[in-house]
Structure 1
């Protein structure tokens, strides 16, 4: 089976993406690896992407999304990097000579091969991993994990796999359409970027399967039910299943705090986290600011406030009047905002 695997990120996450693609290349040298980048490097920083572990770079501009810069302006960095997953998934499924397309978040890393997933795709047109595989047994777990899933979605879209046929292809078209119009972080309106939409996939697309193996998508939110251990040969296991990939979400105090809360005395968890942090340090480029995003600022360098994005996104007249909202100077959206702020 010919497989394409991609990840969507900005240059601020290049270190994480490098770890992901290095582990993918180690375990699956025959897969086509694609970096989907909605960004440009910081001024004066040259990065030789041809030397990276991925085979191809696809830029936001390559997706030919209707509205282009106007559409992009209506999204913050998380919304943008998740919204473009739909257009690229559809593009890959319809234009690339592959049998399957996989997506992995840039802050994941393989600890084993994903061959069993490919086997599952022989029986299903697509695969999803739930955040949780078992009910929580403590009030703390219910509040942290089950309640969070109720807000953000049953399935974690840090992973997705489809066949380029049947329900896989139909889902790609549906998801593309939904993400182009509604990939917003707006929990009160029932939206959490790409995830809440996918709660409907088992009803809409019966060819999809649900991966219930605890070795996939291990993360802080499911550690209360996944005991990690190492075998005699150093291989990692989750509940005695080979540990396939880990999702190192919110690397830093938040993610590590939640991991400690649920790993407790499972010291192997901390060994894996420490290994990942060493890998990140190895691949970090100190020239890239921690929160760099080219599309996070106007043409004159001033940051784009979230309220400016929301105002523009919700007003078709502003979109018509200012087709390039990143521009500055006379007759620009930025100049118009200055008059409104008085």
Structure 2
């Protein structure tokens, strides 16, 4: 049995449906799974969806799951779970191979030639580029980007259920458990950069260079698209296998495609089709990411995640960082201590929106926010360093401007 899967949160379902419908159209014989780095919403009914199965993040047997998830943004988590899903699907009875497709992909023909690689290879990868660029501008836009983000595009990966394929999946999951980061300054870009090492570490890696696979804005410069949606799209003389609409939501995809192939009617028609087909569902688009908020519905910021990820002591002390209570919890620790212990990340009292005036009082249409005052006074009581800074700054303002001056400052700040 062959398994296809994608990974996406609930709000990405319009794209997921397009992908899965295309898989079912051309490969009805495979089993299609949605890996959900999210909680399954009540409205999601598998009977009405074009995928056969849902695998939630809780089903992946990932150690220390809540602390691990908390340390990741949505993009990081969606990519970090991929090798764990591969391993799970490879463990299924009669599983022959697993293929991953990004949710913003669509199939346009059967992929039998791709599946044939498993006769001789264990791992299939698609490079961002398969031919050298010819202009300096395209080199900068595409080849240099590949040097930064990774040679291979991990919108697609194929893994056979053999010793080599399983060893690869295990290695990949171990690396992503610790290092699935959007960190170009650290030489990382989620799951992609690690795969630059795969051909050196593992035998049986097939680099898929066919122009019909993983066509995208970053390689359309060196590929010729012809035909039409009605009669079939052709890439360098072959049927289009699958197209990658990466960067669609930001508008980057259309900008780059128009820049290099704006006169190609076949390509422009394809992009027009996707824009109409990828219609937003009000229910899905309004569904927030379940792991994007603390239990009190306060939004989790990148600073919350980064500091928690950097501090094993905090992970040990607050094993459920999402939980909020009156006493000791990560939410309160961050509000009371983060700016003191990590000013380089969240700033100090003066330069990161935690001004002394803010901490004394907040005005909402001329009224004092007493809950905020209570929160910061409590913080001052339990944190003497913070309380000292607060009192010194308050006294300094009163000396210079008096009580009216202090009042005026907080009112002006709150506007």
- What TM-score do the two structures reach when normalised by structure 2? 0.79
Counterparts of 1:117 and 1:60, CA distance in 2: 28
Higher mean alpha-carbon deviation, 101-110 vs 296-305, is at 296-305
Counterparts of 1:328 and 1:141, CA distance in 2: 50
Counterparts of 1:338 and 1:323, CA distance in 2: 17
Alignment partner of 1:37 is 2:50: no
Deviation digits for residues 152-187 of structure 1 (CA, Å, limit 9, x no counterpart): 100000000011003211111111111111111111
- Indicate the SS of the match to 2:6: strand
Residue 87 (structure 1) aligned to one of 84, 88, 112:
84
Alignment partner of 1:179 is 2:176: yes
Counterparts of 1:170 and 1:273, CA distance in 2: 38
Counterparts of 1:112 and 1:54, CA distance in 2: 18
- What TM-score do the two structures reach when normalised by structure 1? 0.95
Greater radius of gyration (CA)? 2
Question: How large is the Cα RMSD of the aligned pairs?
Answer: 1.6
Runs of 4+ displaced beyond 4 Å? none
Q: Is the 8 A contact 1:129 1:211 kept in 2?
A: yes
Counterparts of 1:106 and 1:66, CA distance in 2: 26
Counterparts of 1:118 and 1:196, CA distance in 2: 24
Q: Using a 3 Å threshold, how does the CA distance of structure 1 residues 247 and 290 change in structure 2: closer, same or farther?
A: farther
Counterparts of 2:140 and 2:188, CA distance in 1: 20
- Indicate the SS of the match to 2:299: coil
User: What stretches of structure 1 of length at least 5 have no aligned partner?
Assistant: none
Counterparts of 2:334 and 2:141, CA distance in 1: 39
Counterparts of 1:272 and 1:171, CA distance in 2: 35
Counterparts of 1:61 and 1:39, CA distance in 2: 9
Deviation digits for residues 135-166 of structure 1 (CA, Å, limit 9, x no counterpart): 11112111111111001100000000011003
Greater length-normalized contact order (CA 8 Å, ≥ 6 residues apart): 1
Alignment partner of 1:22 is 2:21: yes
Structural mapping, 1:33-182, within 5 Å: 33-40=32-39, 46-182=43-179
Q: Is the 8 A contact 2:40 2:56 kept in 1?
A: no
Counterparts of 1:296 and 1:315, CA distance in 2: 20
Alignment partner of 1:300 is 2:300: no
- Indicate the SS of the match to 1:287: helix
Q: Is the 8 A contact 1:167 1:208 kept in 2?
A: no
Partner residue in 2 for 1:261: 259
Higher mean alpha-carbon deviation, 138-147 vs 225-234, is at 225-234
Counterparts of 1:254 and 1:91, CA distance in 2: 34
Higher mean alpha-carbon deviation, 310-319 vs 161-170, is at 161-170
- Indicate the SS of the match to 1:339: helix
Higher mean alpha-carbon deviation, 224-233 vs 301-310, is at 224-233
Counterparts of 1:293 and 1:104, CA distance in 2: 21
Q: Is the 8 A contact 2:212 2:241 kept in 1?
A: yes
- Indicate the SS of the match to 1:71: helix
Structural mapping, 1:231-246, within 5 Å: 234-246=231-243
Partner residue in 2 for 1:285: 281
Counterparts of 1:203 and 1:40, CA distance in 2: 37
Deviation digits for residues 226-276 of structure 1 (CA, Å, limit 9, x no counterpart): 111117971111111211000001113222111111222111111111111
Shift of 1:321: 0.5
Partner residue in 1 for 2:308: 312
- Indicate the SS of the match to 1:81: helix
Shift of 1:41: 5.4
Q: Is the 8 A contact 1:185 1:191 kept in 2?
A: yes
Q: Count residues with an aligned counterpart.
A: 337
User: What stretches of structure 2 of length at least 5 have no aligned partner?
Assistant: 340-375, 377-415
Q: Which has the higher helix share?
A: 2
Q: Is the 8 A contact 2:176 2:191 kept in 1?
A: yes
Q: Is the 8 A contact 2:262 2:268 kept in 1?
A: no
Partner residue in 2 for 1:4: 3
Q: Is the 8 A contact 1:168 1:208 kept in 2?
A: no
